Chains A and B, each alone.
Chain A
């Protein structure tokens, strides 16, 4: 136990704040495992392998195989087992390698985790945290490139988080574990290698509210997860063209923080929603609907959406790039929103109509 304490002191020494998204996530789990005996990590290749994205590397050595538990390829069984363990008082962190494979556990998540509390008339809360990688962009083709966090955000009973910054990666897990209900954490695959310094004042994250990542006055760019860096890059481009874009990081996809988004749009009067999910029935659609419901008279332009094209994500690089939201597309949408001509080079492909037969 003494060694543990020394290590905590080392890990939190203010001098050593340089980290990566991956390490920040790991540090968050290490802290949780040290501070609460009920916490354990379970999933495929989380132990000896160190996690398919290396997030849990070293945790097996520190916490042993009881608490860093390698599971067979049985997503429905080990997610369901996590739910059962949570019912019995444990605080499981279940890792599903990627959102694509979570479909094999969707029944457990939807029909058990999300509903038990309600069906039991409030008797059975399910304090489980389920982490998974999401998103496209690495030429992994359709079955490995889904962005289904919007589906999960559709489900009452779940809290859905999308850490997009180092601070959120490091400090979202503790409040997630403290939540009495199931929390899903979506980690975009493109973020793991992002590195930087953790701000000196970084601490527990408010998982009820969206965050303003860059203030601006002309247009609100509303993004989350892997799309946040793209929205920030677009805001940079727009600034050099004289347009001041505010960037909102949704951070919590369910329940949505209407107030932060709405306040921003009430000031800028224009909104562009960026979402790697398919446009139809997307989170972006929900946000757009809420803005028209709540801020119709604040808006000076129709809400713009930059989403993925309605196609299973293709392997070929140029096709994949064309299918996903890109900085150019966000810039173009912002220009449309503020009523300025779209500069040449910025493509507006995301705006193509998506209905009808496409063959």
Chain B
């Protein structure tokens, strides 16, 4: 293992005064992602959800913490492991569930499935299943903002595996060169499918390497939602202030297999257990309980509310119609009438 030399995200001198309500809201957001995906597993086993499905369980603090730094005007570009990003962004559970059921009420009308969640209204630019494919696109969104003088941030999530693609390195250079308002969030969960970080990266300190492109770059404890939120806020401020792209290496871990097809034979059970001790969701719940901010009763109420929300999403997805087969060729080209010059 290489020694860590990359700069850590600066901690504010004094802990920001997170109100109780805010801490509880972070817990709720993370718990929503967790419970939603646990339900997805059941539905996948029951063959209600098909295709490839990648779970975010264990990584919830990243999506939820980063989202705190973004406004509704900002944009998000994601990967195929994006249920958490979409939920944190505010895409309704109902629209995501319906999408995975292949229903017309889904956020991509059933044409995308788990890997291709889109919500243009929320500036959620998807769901990309080509590793690294979202990065250049995110640079373009940021470029447009820069050219039109909008103070918006484009946030792009991608994995440690994507960090090996030319797409990442080309985008990093271009974004730094043009000082684009781009927040690059690398979810380093230590594996690219079955290949451990040290087997696919010559230098495993990703934040250090990103810094070489001339970007502000920090490594962050991705299992601690407060640390994620603080770093993301600082980085987003920097981006908004016009100091160019920022890179955050979120050190995290996925508790489940790469996808529902993966038998997860390449990881040590002890390693998984070790990381589970740092469960971001239960960790925060514990902290809140110890601080007397979350009673057992309040926890139960929260769980019940989320369960009801997810039940409703599943029920609505079950009832929703499919897109008629006659509409197969819709959306290949734009339906609007084009005026040719």
Give A residues with C-beta under 8 Å from B: 44-45, 48-49, 52, 70-77, 100-101, 103-104, 138-144, 309-312, 314-319, 322-323, 352, 354, 357-359
Contacts and interface: CB of A to CB of B under 8 A. Distances in A.
B222 interface: no
Interface residues of B, number: 44
B334 A73 contact: no
Interface of B, helix, strand, loop or mixed by DSSP: loop
A357 B129 CA distance: 27
B328 A319 contact: yes
Interface in B299-341: 322-323, 325, 328-336
B217 interface: no
Contact of A322 (B108, B200, B325): B325
Interface in B134-167: 161-162, 164-167
Contacts of A48: 194-195, 199, 266
Given A45-B194, A311-B332, A73 B161 contact: yes
A309 B332 CA distance: 11
Contact of B328 (A44, A76, A104, A309): A309
B178 interface: no
Contacts of A354: 329
B201 interface: yes
A76 B167 CA distance: 10
A316 B329 contact: no
B66 to A, nearest CB: 22
Residue in A72, A138, A316, A359 with the greatest tally of chain B CB atoms within 10 Å: A316
B102 interface: yes
B329 A310 contact: yes
B165 A74 contact: yes
Given A70-B199, A358-B333, 14 more contacts: A44-B193, A45-B194, A49-B193, A52-B193, A73-B192, A76-B166, A104-B167, A140-B115, A144-B52, A310-B329, A311-B332, A312-B111, A316-B322, A358-B329
28 contacts: A44-B192, A48-B194, A49-B195, A72-B192, A73-B200, A74-B164, A77-B166, A101-B131, A104-B166, A104-B167, A140-B115, A142-B111, A142-B112, A143-B133, A144-B52, A309-B328, A309-B329, A310-B329, A311-B328, A314-B110, A315-B50, A315-B102, A315-B108, A318-B102, A318-B325, A319-B323, A319-B328, A357-B333
B308 to A, nearest CB: 27
Contacts of B51: 138-141, 315
Contact of A316 (B111, B162, B332): B111
A45 B164 CA distance: 14
Residue in A48, A52, A314, A352 with the greatest tally of chain B CB atoms within 10 Å: A314
Contacts of B132: 73, 104
Nearest to B169: A74
A141 B164 contact: no
B200 to A, nearest CB: 4
Contacts of B166: 74, 76-77, 104
Interface of B: 50-52, 102-103, 108, 110-113, 115-116, 128-133, 161-162, 164-167, 192-195, 199-201, 266, 322-323, 325, 328-336
Contacts of B200: 70-73
Residue in B162, B200, B201 with the greatest tally of chain A CB atoms within 10 Å: B200
A73 B169 CA distance: 12
Nearest to A312: B332
B332 A310 contact: yes
A142 B328 contact: no
A246 B159 CA distance: 49
B116 A104 contact: no
A103 B131 CA distance: 12
B50 to A, nearest CB: 4
B194 A49 contact: yes
Contacts of B328: 309, 311, 314, 319, 322-323
Given A70-B199, A140-B51, A318-B322, A358 B111 contact: no
A353 to B, nearest CB: 10
Contacts of B323: 316, 319
Given A101-B130, A141-B129, A143-B128, A316 B110 contact: yes
Contact of A72 (B112, B116, B133, B164): B164
B129 A144 contact: yes
A133 to B, nearest CB: 13
A75 B162 CA distance: 11
Contact of B195 (A45, A315, A322, A323): A45
A319 B266 contact: no
Nearest to B336: A359
A315 B114 CA distance: 9
Given A73-B192, A319-B328, A139 B50 contact: yes
B95 to A, nearest CB: 14
A49 to B, nearest CB: 3
Given A104-B165, A358-B332, A319 B192 contact: no
Given A139-B50, A144-B129, A319-B110, A359 B115 contact: no
A140 B260 CA distance: 12
A316 B129 CA distance: 16
A101 B130 CA distance: 7
| Nearest 4 pairs of A and B residues by beta carbon | A359-B335, A49-B194, A316-B102, A315-B113
A173 B78 CA distance: 38
A315 B334 contact: no
Contacts of A317: 50, 102
Contacts of B325: 318-319, 322
A317 B49 CA distance: 10
A342 B15 CA distance: 75
Contact of B116 (A142, A309, A310): A142
B112 A73 contact: no
A317 B331 CA distance: 17
Nearest to B325: A322
B110 A44 contact: no
Contacts of B52: 140, 144
